[in-house]
Amino acid sequence: MQTVKLSNGVEMPILGYGVYQVTPEECERCVSDALSVGYRMIDTAQAYYNEEGVGRAVKKSGIPREELFLVTKVWISNAGYEKAKASIDESLRKLQTDYIDLLLIHQPFNDYYGTYRAMEEAYKAGKLRAIGVSNFYPDRFIDLAEFCDIKPMVNQVETHVFNQQRQPQEIMKEYGTQIMSWGPFAEGRNDFFTNPVLKAIGEKYGKSVAQTALRFLIQRDVVVIPKSTHKERMEQNLDVFDFSLSAEDMETIGKLDKGESLFFSHYAPETVKWLANFGKD
């Protein structure tokens, strides 16, 4: 598995398995399948309500813990120093592990400064191997990065061929922060899986639209966590390291960039209200 090196020297797989929208009932089976076909990074979150399923699958896999890379995220309702500190221990318990490889602040709302202080403390205590943020647009990302002791090592943001995050990625690089994609397939929006550009380029390499899109992001040094509940698709999503897109193909796919979200804007008042109220549940 190809890896990226985080600012503190930790090696992180560039491709992993994401369990967003995988039900708690399905999660253990899906993660077990993912591990069996070769995934070694699993991305979950407190708000997904499936950390326990990840923990059970990892425990049953028999794979040495040091060969795995577990990612989870602190949700809005656990924001602030004291709540975040308690939630970190709770995530450790649910994942059945002594340490988390990467912990992220899930959303840039509520007292995320207090959350980050708790994360810095847990990092220094050895409970976390790396820390970072998720869904932080450049303005809030810079604000946090300028006033924290430990710069965020990762920022997980919506990144796919239609929203390529080029300028934010450059800003992240200034702070030694690795970009990580959520929604690398845009959840099928904008007719993603039938896109004629991705289809034509993929056919040149004997690859699917999904594989072509993942390869594009990987060649841009973007960490990806595609999700599927089907084992055969998990295998296909992992099979992207035996070819490289040409410079011309990279440029062609680059032109698909619309430079805006296909989901929602964290600047929109209605989005902030929705997430804030969800965070109070």
Binding site listing for substrate:
106
Q: How distant is the alpha carbon of residue 271 from its chain centre? A: 20
Q: At what angle do helices 231-238 and 209-219 cross, to 10 degrees?
A: 40
Handedness of CA 264, 266, 270, 274 (dihedral sign): positive
Look up residue 171 and give its amino acid.
I
In sequence order, what are the beta bridge partners of 72?
103
Q: Using the 8-state DSSP alphabet, how is residue 125 labeled? A: T
Going from the C-alpha of 91 to that of each of 73, 199, 235, the distances in angstroms are 9, 40, 28
The CA-to-CA distance between both ends of the chain, in Å, stands at: 38
What is the longest distance spanned by two Cα atoms in the chain?
54
Q: How distant is the alpha carbon of residue 92 from its chain centre? A: 18
**C-alpha span between 240 and 215 (Å, rounded):** 6
Active-site annotation, residues: 48
Closest to 119 in 3D by CA, of 81, 70, 69: 81
Residues in the annotated binding site: 106
